[in-house]
Amino acid sequence: MSPYENRYWWSNDGVRLHYRDYPGSADRPPILCLPGLTRNARDYDELARRLSPQWRVIAVDLRGRGESGYAKDPMSYVPLTYVQDIEGLLGELAVPRYIAIGTSLGGIVTMLLAGTARETLAGAVLNDVGPEISAEGLSRIRSYVGKSNTWPTWVHAARAVAEANGDVFPTYQLEDWLAMAKRLYRLNSAGRIVLDYDMKIAEPFRVPGNEAGPDMWRALDRLKTVPTLIVRGGKSDILAAATAERMKAALDQAELVTLPDIGHAPTLNEPAAVAGIDRLLARIAAEPAAT
């Protein structure tokens, strides 16, 4: 039996969007998981299985990824549109409060969501992203996003993932790379293994200034009184150590967890990240408003 249900909602511009709904307590705010630029809901499966059924976990496929539909207009692949999509989902779910966990692009969406409706955010996890994105990391992402590759077997795909990410996860073995490949890729109708996103997501991303949208320090400020966990890969080329420290100082209820030997982006299944998330959730569960 599957630990989740596949559910769908519609965007304002008619894109059918998908999320995994892992059941959990109705007495606690649900956890909304938002993936990175080229990633999907599968990234959060291990975390969701661990937290459900104590917490309801909603793992989203952003438009153009996973089981969500592809947009007709590639210029809609921008953070402000993702925010509108998520606001539509939250409206359908009719949840008064929720916890957002955002990795990379998902963290940018989380900060922007706080700017539109801070009072509905019970807590936030910003995974290896902040108001400032390091130029080195942006250059690296631009070098690969939107470039299509196909592979004949999962082992071939895993080896390609390992070659591209060996410095991010230096302790990974073949089984780890296979698991990552199965989160990143899918089997197409021709029997080839392909990346599981619309290659056109790269079009607006390559336009300077479209990576994060508006003033993200102002957006972060909306999390000032919200319990927040900042997770940083110690070898990250996206979130600089100084930026992470500045984020922590700017927020009243923030904790910073740094994973020394990890690059961009942590999986959130690392022991220190697991412990940080559990501390955050325990704080939220203890609040009167969360019961």
pLDDT bracket for residue 119 (50, 70, 90) = confident
Label residue 208 by pLDDT band (50, 70, 90).
low
Residues 219-246 have pLDDT tens digits of 999 999 999 999 999 999 999 999 999 9
Contacts of 167 (CB under 8 A, 6+ apart): 235, 263
The number of beta carbons lying within 10 Å of the beta carbon of residue 233 is 24
Distance CA 40, CA 71 (A): 16
pLDDT tens digits along 125-163 = 999 999 999 989 988 888 888 888 899 999 999 999 999
What is the phi/psi pair of residue 114, to 5°?
Answer: -60, -35
Separation CA 72–CA 132 (nearest Å): 30
Q: Indicate the average pLDDT of the chain.
A: 93
Q: Strand 228-233 to strand 254-259: parallel, antiparallel, or no bridges (unpaired)?
A: parallel
**What is the reported pLDDT for 290?**
43
Contact 254, 248 (CB under 8 A): yes
- Asked if pLDDT for residue 291 goes beyond 90, the answer is no
Strands of the sheet containing 98-103, edge to edge, are 5-10, 16-22, 57-61, 31-34, 98-103, 121-127, 228-233, 254-259
Confirm if 169 and 263 have CB atoms less than 8 A apart.
yes
Structural domains of the chain in order of their starting residue, each with its CATH number: 5-140+213-290 (3.40.50.1820)
pLDDT at 34 over 80: yes
pLDDT bracket for residue 212 (50, 70, 90): very low
4-18, 27-41, 149-163, 206-220: the lowest-pLDDT one: 206-220
Evaluate if residue 175 carries a pLDDT over 90.
yes
Taking residues 247-259, report their average pLDDT: 98
Q: Residue 209: is its pLDDT beyond 70? A: no
Identify whether the C-beta of residue 231 lies closer than 8 Å to the C-beta of residue 257: yes
Kindly state the average pLDDT of the residues 182-208: 91
- The per-residue pLDDT for 101 is 98
pTM (predicted TM-score): 0.95
**What would the mean pLDDT of 53-71 be, rounded to a whole number?**
98
Task: Summarize the confidence of residues 192-214 as an average pLDDT.
Answer: 79
